[in-house]
Structure 1
Amino acid sequence: MNENPPQPDANQRMKSYLGKIATGPRMSKDLTRAEAEDALAMVLNGEVSTERAAVFLIAARMKLETVEENTGYWQALDKTTVKQEVKLEKLVQVAEAFDGFERTPVFTFYTIPLLAEMGLPAYGHSALPLPPKFGITFEDLLINHYGVSTHQTFEQRKTLIEQFGFGYLGIEQSHPKLDALKSLRKEIVKRPMLATMEKMLMPLIAKTNFLATNYFHPGYEEAMLAVAGLGRWEITVVGNGMEGSILYGVHKTAKLFIHLKKVGVQEKKLDCGRELDAATAQQVQEAFQALKKLPASRDTMAELGEQALKGKGGPAAPLIAWQAATLGYLFGRFPDVQTGFDAAHTHLSSGTVHEKLMSYLDGCK
């Protein structure tokens, strides 16, 4: 007698899951965490047709995912992520919206080497532009502006991060199975749950790890915080930064959710007007207002970002300093944001951060 009957094949299981989540707003049912993990694993592993994969991704988002479902989706992504340890005591992972920026120039690409100079090694995790915005990302700047090879391996990118204390990693290196879905994601147009959970992957592991990321629509932070509790980050910051960035507390007061591994979740409001002295806060706000008048193009971001890193000021410099200061404060490097801002300003004024960024880029080519 067979005590372990064969399990339904992938197509049968996916048909069952679609029967639960794709029956309209009143009749749809939630998946269990295990079912959600299994469903997305089949999509990632190419076990179901492209058409069925697309229907699943659309239906899951239209139903609105539960925290349990999103946790299952993350587990499927996490188990298929390329992971390696890095020879660093601390590492800040920065994960902004993978579909990029198109409204106002964002300079986090240039904040990352500054963080390293301030004693917080950091890297940006992203992808080449994805739908619906197809905006500017770390990988977009790296490859399409600076001409870095698209054939770099995970090992090469990791080695550069260990060497310089900062760098960038794309899902082409960290998650080839997720990267393989980019054509499908273009066809389904709207953001699937992947857009939330891909920010919560952890390809590089140092002795102590931090994550800075964002949420846009209220409610999505709940699933991200649940996942943070399963990950290996000592501190995870999830905040409503400008246009999906980690520029917290400039365009409006930011609401941050901070997951501390040994404590749990704390909430904090962050506003440059309250964290900085009046003159510095005015400098940050004036810079932000000036940037709102400029195009969010690669050339604009690179020109103004490099100007700031060379110590020549410009409207990007106060925002880069603010970003570095807030992360330095939130991750325990500085006792307050003002101290961090002053330190960031000093490092920017020296011009050495630009030299190190150029050396890193040379190492990538």
Structure 2
Amino acid sequence: MTATDTTQAHMLMRSILQRIATGPELSKDISLDEAREATVAILRDQIDPVQAALFFIALRMKRESNDEFKGVLDGIREVVDGVVADVDHVLDIADPYDGYNRTLPAAPFLPPLLAECGLHPVSHGLDAVGPKYGVTHRHVLQAAGANVDLDSRAAAGRLSDTDTGWAYVDQASFCKPLHDLIPLRTQMIKRQVLTTVEVLAKPVMGKQQTHFVTGYVHKPYPPIYAMLARHVGFNSALFIRGVEGGIIPSLRQDGKYFSYHDRGEEIGVDIHPDMVGIQQALRAVPLPEDLPKTTRPGDEIAIAVDIRDTALAAAEAGMEALNGKQGVTYDSLVYTGALILKHMGMQDNLGEAGEA
């Protein structure tokens, strides 16, 4: 990094802030390249933290344009330690990075289940980030004894290992500059563009194709995710309306997913758990009643759960489900597993996929 680079980054950010932070009527969009260059400068620590926070907040307040979404994602991908695994197809699974705090997460156990079905899944996430600061894939897999500190190359190597076939890779390993922004993001409190785009960082890719799976709650997000997934080259994508924004739909109500193949337009599909033979009174795996409660002083957003004990409970439930124990966790894995197998063309319909 040279003094000239830093000066140019400062001048760029000054110009951008003068345009995007001018109120609801006068703020202007910036170009894809400007959003990318600004993001790279922030990730390379060339921008004052106050200005970096203002950049993300101003984008959010005026509402990000498609080019701004793409540019920020491109900036992140420019510093990602991405690798190509020695397998033709990789399934990239991105559950909510901020985790779960109302239900017990079952999704961390989808990768080993899907690996048994012949897929090569990689999930990714981090330890803690807002707004929920909930229980994440990292917490649950660590509680189950998995290695959650693999770098991208080691994770890619596990995908071609016939004894494993799946992996988890943490943002702290595959994109440390982005992970280092977590304290600043905590200070910003509100959701920013990073929360939307970071799940599409694409740390591990297939030799031929890479497929993306994520969840959503709010209706505006599937078109945004689809646009971004096509932009970074995911060959297919599946966006599931799931509990707490995750990839597992409600086990007792009508559901919805959107998907595309060959980078085409996304199509919405209505689903119901009885399509895979699930009859449940509960919408998701409930938190055990005997979990210890914690407090988060001054935080009115996050619902506090004890991370360690919740992760241990989720790990126990997940391992039991993988070993065939029937119940809500088992049904959760069957439901989303069936959706993914059908999406990947390994089964013709959900009923057959659920039985697989």
Same structural fold, with TM-score higher than 0.5 when normalized by the shorter chain: yes
- Write the mapping of 1:44-193 to structure 2, written as runs, cut at 5 A: 44-143=43-142, 145-146=143-144, 152-163=150-161, 164-193=164-193
Read off the aligned partner of 1:241 and give its amino acid letter. Answer: G
Residue in 2 aligned with 1:305? 318
Structure 1 unaligned spans of 5+: 1-5, 344-365
**1:304–1:315 CA contact under 8 A, matched in 2:** no
**Higher helix fraction: Structure 1 or Structure 2?**
1
Normalising by structure 2, we get a TM-score of 0.86
Once residues 282 and 355 of structure 2 are traced to their aligned partners in structure 1, the CA distance between those partners, rounded to angstroms, is 17
Identity %: 25
CA RMSD of aligned residues (A): 2.3
Using the alignment, how far apart are the partners of 1:67 and 1:39 within structure 2? Answer: 16
Given residue 184 of structure 1, which amino acid in structure 2 is its aligned partner? L
- In structure 2, C-alpha distance between the alignment counterparts of 1:146 and 1:113, rounded to whole Å: 12
1:131-185, CA deviations, whole angstroms, 9 ceiling, x for partnerless residues?
Answer: 1111111112234x24666754333233223321111111112111111111111
Contact 2:259 2:267 in 1 (8 A): yes
> Partner of 2:234: helix, strand, or coil?
coil
Q: Distance in 2 between matches of 1:181 and 1:149?
A: 24
Equivalent residues, number:
331
- C-alpha distance in structure 2 between counterparts of 1:243 and 1:121, whole Å: 25
- Indicate the SS of the match to 2:160: helix
Determine the C-alpha separation between the residues in 2 that align with 1:310 and 1:39. 48
Give TM-score scaled by structure 1 length: 0.84
Does the aligned pair in 1 maintain the 2:140–2:311 contact within 8 Å?
Answer: yes
Aligned to 2:286: 291
**What is the CA–CA distance in structure 1 between the aligned matches of 2:17 and 2:147, rounded to whole Å?**
40
- The alpha-carbon distance between structure 1 residues 7 and 150, as it changes in their structure 2 partners (threshold 3 A), is closer
User: AA paired with 2:78?
Assistant: K
* Alpha carbons of structure 1 residues 250 and 287: separation in structure 2 relative to 1, 3 Å: closer
Using the alignment, how far apart are the partners of 2:216 and 2:278 within structure 1? 24
Q: Distance in 1 between matches of 2:145 and 2:286?
A: 25
- Name the SS of the counterpart of 2:155 in structure 1: helix
Q: Is the CA contact (8 Å cut-off) linking 1:94 and 1:122 kept in structure 2?
A: yes
For 1:3, the equivalent position in structure 2 comes to: none
Q: What is aligned with 2:220?
A: 219
Classify 1:289/1:7 alpha carbon distance in 2 versus 1 (closer, same or farther; 3 Å).
Answer: closer
Q: Which runs of 5+ in 2 are unaligned?
A: 292-304
Amino acid of the structure 2 residue aligned with 1:255: K
Question: Is 1:288–1:319's contact at 8 Å kept on the other side of the alignment?
Answer: no
**Residue 356 of structure 1: aligned partner:** none
Q: Alpha-carbon deviation of 1:212?
A: 0.5
Preserved CA contact (<8 Å) 1:287 1:316? no
Q: Deviations over 1:238-267 (max 9, x none)?
A: 232111101135364333221222533222
Amino acid at match of 2:198: E
Aligned partners of 2:95 and 2:214 also within 8 Å: yes
SS in 2 for 1:212: strand
Matches within 5 A, 1:314-353: 314-343=327-356
Residue pair 2:253, 2:283 contacting (<8 A) in 1 also: no
Cα deviations by residue, 1:1-31 (Å, 9 ceiling, x for unpaired): xxxxx99621121111111111222221111
